[in-house]
Structures are given as C-alpha cells and as structure tokens.
A and B are shown apart, each in its own frame.
Chain A
Amino acid sequence: MSRLTIERVVSGYADMEVLHGIDLCVPEGEIVTIIGPNGAGKSTLMKTIFGLLKPTAGRILFDEEDITGLSPDRVVRRGLAYVPQVENVFPSLTIQENLEMGAFILKGHLRDRLQHIYELFPVLGDRQKARAGKMSGGERQMVAMGRALMLDPRLLMLDEPSAALAPNLTATIFERIAAINEAGVTILIVEQNAKESLKLSDRGCVFAGGLKCFEDSGPALLANEEIGRLYLGG
C-alpha cells in the first residue's frame, strides 16, 4: 500500500513556482530518499506536504486520504511528522520541553513516550534539563527527530538529517533512522550528501529544477555511474 502519494504537485512561493508537477510514491514501511542539487525544490516539496505551502495544482494523499492544503496542525494529527532542514528545535526550551511539545496535541502523561525517545537517543536522556540552543549540531538533530517521533507517526519526513554533521555522527544518525524504520515507521528523507542515505533506502529519486528526473531502487541508484558522477560527487 502507498503511505504517501504525490500527484502532479505544483507549488512554490508567492512570486515563484518551484515544483512544476511532481509525482512520487512512498510505499508503507519503506525508506525513500530524494537527492538533488541545491535549489532543486526538495525542501519545498516537504513544506508543501506538511501544509506550510499550498500547492497550486495536484493532490497529496496520505493512506489514500486527500490531505492537500491541510494546515500543519491537521497534518500532524493525521500521523505525519516533519523535521525541517534548519531551525528544527526550540532553542530556549530544554530537551525535555522540546520533546513534550512534540506531543502537544495529546492529553495525559507522556512518561512512557519520553522514556521511549530516551532509549532511542540515550544522549538526550542524560541531558534532559539542558537548553536545546546550547546543544551541538548532532544533539540538536536528535532532539528534532525525537520531537517528531513523540506521536508515533506513520510517516517521518527528514530534511537533510546529516547536514553539517561530523562523519561519525552521520553514521549514528543513519543507524538510528534504520532502527526507527525497523520499528515500522515509513520514512521520507531529503539528502544532499546522499550515499549513506541511499544505502538504507528502498527507493531513491533525483530532483532537478523542480522536476523528478530519475527514480530507481536505492542500491541501483548508488550503482548508477551517471547519477554518481552528476549528483553523488564521483
């Protein structure tokens, strides 16, 4: 079954169309990676799926239901979660408060959920009372992912989770992403530094100039010499 289906989506900003008709399918339980150069429209697609931008044409289906144009808080309630590329934590809130905000729409106790996130990212458990703004880049990425996982989403969207991270941290993050997927969460990733991500992925797509120009299985995309030369840095 398709968890997320994008049909001929056209979207962009007030004065500029960025996506010129994107089709994409994210099957249930899989990891799908979108790669592509700067300005290809990868982040724009994520913002459009999540209701921060309204598409001017096309449809977005989540578990066969139309979610086109829903506001972000409605999208969250449907079971999607999104970690933006930049500014993805609340800097003046503590780690624990950041995670609590991830479950804002829930009533009642969050202890089990918090416990679950601290098991996934033990570093966060050790520093629950530290302000997120004071954390390193890698820890912040974990806070952001933890926040997004608080509601047990059915689809997790990650925009460049390894951007600006040291190589050993990148490995940790991708290992966590694999574990999250193992637990049954479908994942859509945008990556520029895409080799690590494609290794994990069931499918990979290449975006350029607001269009999807290529799609294949993750390993096949990695093995593709032309893609490697053009988009994966040799």
Chain B
Amino acid sequence: MDALSRIPQLLVYGIVSGSILSLGGIGVSLTYSILGFSNFAHGDTMALGAYLALALLPVMAQLGLPSGSLGPLSFGWDFVASLLLAAVGTSLAVILLDRLLFARLRDTHRITLMIATVGVALALRNLLQFVWGPQPHYYTTTIQRAILIPQLGIRIKPDQIFIVAAAVLLALLLHLFLRYTKMGKAMRATSDNTALARVTGINTERVILWTWVIGASLAAVAGVLVGLENKFITPELGWQMLLSIFAAVILGGIGNPYGAIVGGLVVGISEEVSTAFISTGYKPAVAFAILILMLLIRPTGLLGRRR
C-alpha cells in the first residue's frame, strides 16, 4: 500500500494517541500555571494510575462487579470502577506528595522544584518496578474485532472509540469546571496572578489542592487508557510518553489547559502520520522536532499568552 492511502488509518491512530496525550498534558499545563514549575513526575503519575487500576481489577471482581464485556468493548464494569478508583487513589498519592515535599518547597526557586519532580519521577518508577516487576502486565486478554469502515479506508476498535469518547467527555467537564464553578474561576485567577489572588482572599492552598487532584485524576485515566490501547502496561509507560506530552503542552502554550488539548492532538496525529513516510523508530524524534520548532518560532505556543 502506498503512503498516502495509509493516512486515513494513521489519522485514526493519531486521534486515539492524541486523546491520551491531551489528558496527560492538561495536568502538566495546570501544574505549571498554578504552581509555576514543570512536573517531570507527571508521566510516572500516569503509570501509577495504570498500576493502581491493575491492582483494583481483581478486587472489583470480588466485590461482585460484573467482569463480562460491555457490549463490543473488551472490558466490563469492574474495569470502569477500577479506572475511577485509580483516579481517586492517584489523587490521594499526589496530595500526600505535595504535603510531604512540594508544599515545603513552595517559595523556593522553580528550578529547585523542577529537580524535585525529577527525583519523584525516579522514585515512583522504581517503586512500581519494585512492586510489580519490570515485565508487562495485562488488563484483559480478550481479542477485539475492529470495526471496518471501507468508505473511509479505516478500521477502528470499540476500545479506541471509548478512549476518544472518554477524553472528549473529560475535556468537556474540565471546561465547564473552569468556566462556571467558583473554584474553576479561582484557578484561572490564581494562574493569572498569584499575589493578587492572595490579596483578593482566594485560598490559594485550596486552589493548589484542586490543581493536583485534577491533574492526577486525568493522569491516572490517561495511564489506564494507554494500557487499554497498548494491551499491556510497564513501569516505563509514562516516562516514555513524557517527551510527547511536553511537546504537546509547549505546542499548545504551557500553562493553558486548552492548549494542552490541541497540542496533544497535533502531536499524536503528527507522530502517527509520520510513520507513513519515515520509520516508526523516529516517532519520538517527531515530538522532539515539534518541540524545538515551536520553541524557535513561537515559544508561547499556539494558544499561549505572554507571561
């Protein structure tokens, strides 16, 4: 098959992986805008979520949640419940980390904080490896039949539709939260100007808590969805995606969660479509090229504003 005729199918893959990148990127962008540092532990937070869901799956089944497949999907209610509880668990873990570490460093230089996140990243990944080992784990071994759409020349699995739908739903919920709730508005205010937020009476520590919870929840979901798409998880899962996530976030404009969504899709699609023309091995190079290009041409990103 020639390169051009493969593009519709690669677009589908790109939208699926882009959805996951978007979910991961939102957390990085929010943390940057509210707390002022780049969180290199975000990828490993995703992996933590993926493993928490893995650990919860048998528990859910024991609690009597049906594990039979939901329609054409490869998973059942036990998986959905594990996904949601993994988001809760990951949030709690990240809040604990904030209390133990980041809160103490709140007023230090952002470079100090960034280095601390690198330490957390290493610690988390090694913890996962220590508990679950370096070998891959599987949520399900069900084989799924792809849906063919010959007119468009594409095939798509029901799980992939689920991934995109979940990402769209969560992005929509985030939008409603930021736009219409008091805490969402306070988050935007704090991201505009922390000192002014404080003299206005906004409880900025509570804003920070919400930032972690949203970022960690979306990271956990993203991590689980990676496992669903790849069919397996390893402790490396998040770390491997970090470059693409940062490329997405910077492309969209770091600090802007909407930018992270757009950036995630662009990077995801670019990476997949590139494989029509260059070897799959160069996928990370595509993200890297986007990152460098953006930093050269427009460092504030597509939707970014000057800070």
Contacts and interface: CB of A to CB of B under 8 A. Distances in A.
Interface in B108-149: none
A75 B201 CA distance: 8
Contacts of A93: 185, 188-189, 192
Residue from B195, B197, B198, B201 whose CB has the most chain A CB atoms within 10 Å: B201
A87 interface: yes
Nearest to B207: A104
Contacts of B305: 92
Contacts of A89: 196
A151 B201 contact: yes
B5 interface: no
B201 A91 contact: no
Given A97-B185, A100-B182, A104-B182, A77 B201 contact: yes
A91 B200 contact: no
A26 to B, nearest CB: 18
Contact of A52 (B192, B195, B200, B204): B195
A88 B196 contact: yes
Contacts of A88: 196
A52 to B, nearest CB: 7
B154 interface: no
B240 interface: no
A90 interface: yes
Interface residues of B, number: 19
Nearest to A77: B201
A73 B185 contact: no
B182 A52 contact: no
B191 to A, nearest CB: 8
Contacts of B63: none
Nearest to A103: B201
B198 A101 contact: no
Contacts of A21: none
Interface in B168-204: 182, 185-186, 188-189, 191-193, 195-204
Interface residues of A, number: 26
A105 B197 CA distance: 12
Contact of A87 (B189, B196, B203, B204): B196
Given A73-B203, A90-B192, A52 B198 contact: yes
Chain B contact surface mostly: helix
A212 interface: no
Contacts of B199: 50, 52, 72, 75-76, 82, 84
A104 B186 contact: yes
A22 B286 CA distance: 60
A41 interface: no
Contacts of A92: 188, 191-192, 305
A72 B190 CA distance: 14
A98 B201 CA distance: 12
Nearest to A89: B196
A73 B186 contact: no
Interface string A67-86: 00001110111000010100
A72 B201 contact: yes
B201 A104 contact: yes
Nearest to B192: A90
A147 B189 CA distance: 12
A17 to B, nearest CB: 20
A102 interface: yes
Contact of A101 (B185, B191, B195): B185
A91 B188 CA distance: 10
A76 B199 CA distance: 7
Residue from B186, B188, B196 whose CB has the most chain A CB atoms within 10 Å: B196
A87 B193 contact: yes
Given A90-B188, A93-B185, A93-B188, A101 B200 contact: yes
Nearest to A73: B201
Nearest to A87: B193
Given A76-B199, A87-B195, A97-B188, 12 more contacts: A71-B198, A72-B199, A73-B202, A76-B200, A77-B201, A84-B196, A90-B193, A91-B192, A97-B185, A98-B189, A104-B201, A104-B203
8 contacts: A50-B199, A52-B199, A73-B202, A76-B201, A88-B196, A91-B192, A102-B201, A104-B202
- Shortest 6 CB-CB contacts between residues of A and residues of B: A76-B201, A72-B198, A90-B192, A90-B189, A105-B201, A72-B199
